Structure 1
Amino acid sequence: MKKAVALLLLSLCFSCQYLEKKVPSEQELLDKQMKEINWNEVDEYPSVDDCEKLTDENLRKQCFFDFITTTIQQKLAVDTLSTLFPKLDTIEVRVTVLPNATLEFQPEFPKDSGAYDTIKIDSILRARLVDFPKINPALKRGIPVKTQFVLPVIIKQE
Structure 2
Amino acid sequence: MKHYFLFLVILLFSSCQYFEKQIPSEKELLAKELKEINWKEVDEFPSLVDCEKIEDKTQRNQCFFEILTQLIQEKLSIDTLSVLYPELDTIEVKVTVFPNSAMQFEPQFPKDSVAYDTVKIDSILKARLVDFPKVNPAIKRGIPVKTQFILPVILKVE
Q: CA deviation at 1:19?
A: 7.8
Q: CA deviation at 1:11?
A: 2.8
Describe the SS at the equivalent of 1:111: coil
Q: Which residue of 1 aligns with 2:148?
A: 148
TM-score by length of 2: 0.90
Off by >6 Å, runs of 4+ in structure 1: none
Paired AA for residue 6 in structure 2: L
Paired AA for residue 115 in structure 1: A
Describe the SS at the equivalent of 1:116: coil
Aligned length: 157
Moved more, 13-22 or 78-87: 13-22
Matched, 1:42 2:14: no
Describe the SS at the equivalent of 2:82: helix
Q: CA deviation at 1:111?
A: 2.0
Q: CA deviation at 1:9?
A: 3.6
Moved more, 20-29 or 109-118: 20-29
Q: 1:21-36 to 2 correspondence within 5 Å?
A: 21-36=21-36
Q: Which residue of 2 aligns with 1:4?
A: 3
Q: Which residue of 1 aligns with 2:103?
A: 103
Q: Which residue of 2 aligns with 1:119?
A: 119
Q: Which residue of 1 aligns with 2:53?
A: 53
Moved more, 145-154 or 13-22: 13-22
TM-score by length of 1: 0.90
CA gap of 1:29–1:126, structure 2 versus 1, over 3 A, is same
Give, in whole Å, the separation in 1 of the partners of 2:116 and 2:10: 85
Describe the SS at the equivalent of 2:92: strand
Q: Report if aligned partners of 2:12, 2:18 keep a CA contact under 8 Å in 1.
A: no
**Unaligned segments of structure 1, at least 5 residues:** none
Paired AA for residue 139 in structure 1: I
Deviations 1:6-45 (A, max 9, x none): 5314431343258854332222221111110011111111
Paired AA for residue 8 in structure 1: F
Paired AA for residue 38 in structure 1: N
Q: Report if aligned partners of 2:96, 2:104 keep a CA contact under 8 Å in 1.
A: yes
Q: Which residue of 1 aligns with 2:89?
A: 89
Identity over aligned pairs, percent: 64
Paired AA for residue 3 in structure 2: A
Moved more, 55-64 or 126-135: 55-64
Describe the SS at the equivalent of 2:22: coil
Paired AA for residue 40 in structure 2: N
Give, in whole Å, the separation in 1 of the partners of 2:16 and 2:54: 54
